[in-house]
Structure 1
Amino acid sequence: MRTLSSLEQFNDLVESEKVVFMFTADWCPDCRVIEPVLPEIEESFNEYTFVSVDRDEFIDLCIEKNIYGIPSFLVYNGGEEAGRFVSKDRKTQQEIENFLSNLPK
């Protein structure tokens, strides 16, 4: 998984790729729970670029995009938001895969 380094990179990725942004933080226990299954999810959905976004480093982006719980997922395709799985709840591998499977193609 790539790591977001700037807002410019965020905007470039939104416009140029099918991308899944995972909003996370080092201190987030629910984020650590799903960490071991992320490589498998990425492999299963390899048409997307997966990018980790540190919530603490990009708090203004989180506010702008209404990301108030982590881990949360925001998906873009062709410059448009294609879906969001945003809540404060712990997420399972199955829930993440179901979310990604139901995105518009």
Structure 2
Amino acid sequence: MEQIKELTQAKLAEITQNGRTVLEFSADWCPDCRFLDPFLPEIEADFDKSKFYQIDRDGCIDLAKDLNIMGIPSFVVYQDGKEIGRLVNKNRKTKDEVEQFLRSLD
């Protein structure tokens, strides 16, 4: 999973323009985000047709506000440049919860 420290609007448009893209907004200091870390490679392998990016929410706080990302960890999914789903809240998420969300978009 590629990590992006500073996400700009231009970079967002670039990485989401083709295919399915899953963005995980998180922060180094967030214990609920770190809880998911061991499962992310498995989730990525289970959805191998998607591109995954881990976004440092603190490095793009203005863009996160524009996208209404108030709690982390949060997931936003794009298909060919259009947002198709989001799992955005401040609650701890499990591997099963994330995978159910991703499956619901098919």
TM bracket (short chain): over 0.9
TM-score, length-scaled by structure 2: 0.93
Mapping of residues 12-91 of structure 1, within 5 Å: 12-91=14-93
- Identity value in percent: 46
Unaligned 5+ runs, structure 1? none
Unaligned ranges ≥5, structure 2: none
Q: Alpha-carbon deviation of 1:61?
A: 1.1
Secondary structure of the 1:26 match is coil
Mapped contact 2:7–2:63 kept (Cα < 8 A): no
The 3-state SS of whatever aligns with 1:88 is: coil
Give CA-to-partner distance per residue, 1:59-93, whole Å, 9 cap, x none: 01110100000000000001111100000100001
Give the paired residue count.
104
Deviant stretches of 4+, over 4 Å: none
Measured in 2, the distance between the counterparts of 1:42 and 1:76 equals: 15
- Secondary structure (helix, strand or coil) at the match of 2:59 reads coil
Q: TM-score, normalised by structure 1?
A: 0.94
- Paired with 1:53 and 1:79, the residues of 2 have a C-alpha distance of 17
Distance 2:62 2:90 in 1: 18
Q: CA RMSD in A?
A: 1.0
How far residue 48 of structure 1 moved from its aligned partner, in angstroms, is 0.6
